[in-house]
Amino acid sequence: MKSVLLIGARGGLGRAVASAFREDKWSVIAIDQSVTAASNDGCHLVSAKSSIEELQQAYLAAVAGAKLNAVINVAGGWAGGSIADTSTAAAAELMLRQSLFSSFAAAHVFSKYGQEGGLLLLTGAAAAVGPTPGMIGYGTAKSAVHFVCQSIASDPATIPPKASVVSILPSVLDTPANRNAMPDADRSTWTPLDDVARQILAWSNGGGRPESGSLVRVVTDSKGTRYIV
C-alpha cells in the first residue's frame, strides 16, 4: 500500500484530497491544526503557533518512520491588508505559519522518508506571482512557497532519487469558506475541489507529472480545469 503524508487534511481541499487517496487505496497520514471537526477521525493535530522546528518534529512523529510515496501540503488560508494597516503584522505572521512554515517542515520530512520517484506537492497561489499590495502578508507567504519549491528542485540530491517537487498555484477554489465569504460572486471560474484532488492523485501515481520545480497555475473556465506550467 502506498502512503501519503497530507498536511491541511481538515480543510476544504484537504478533505477532497484525503477522499481521493483513500478511494485509490492509499494509506493517509493526516495532519491539521483545526479543532473544529471530530477528534476521532485519526488526524494528528498541531498548534497554530508552532515554530518550523516544532512542526517538523510533529510531522516526523506522525510519520513514525513510514515510507512515503507522497507528501502533500494543502494547508493555508487567506488574509487581506496593506502594509499601512495595523492588523497586517498579525495577518502576515499567520500566513507565514500556515503556508511557509508547513511547507518547510513538509519538505524536510520528504527528504528523510520520501521514496524513490515520490512527489512533494506544495500549495502556492496564482496571485503571488506578482505584487499583492492589498494582501501583502498572503502574497509574501505564497511567493516564498514558490521559492522553496524551485530551490529544492535546483538540488535534486536533497530529495529521494527520481522524486519531484511541484507547487500548485490556484486562483479561487470552490470551498465552503469561499462561498460563505463571497456569496454573490460569479463562481464560473472557481476551481472544483475534486478536480484538484484527482490531479494531485494522478501526479502522485506518476501520471503526467510536471517537471520538478514547476509552478503550476490552476485555471478553470467554461472548458474545464487546466494545469499550466
Residues that are catalytic: 138
Dihedral over Cα of 184, 143, 94, 35: its sign: positive
Query: What cell does 11 get?
Result: 480543510
Dihedral over Cα of 7, 10, 173, 195: its sign: positive
Alpha helices in 11-95 (DSSP H): 12-23, 52-63, 88-95
| Cα 129 from Cα 118, distance rounded (Å) | 26
| Cα 28 from Cα 30, distance rounded (Å) | 6
| Cα 42 from Cα 30, distance rounded (Å) | 7
> From edge to edge, which strands make up the β-sheet containing 68-73?
44-45, 27-32, 3-7, 68-73, 114-123, 164-170, 215-221, 224-228
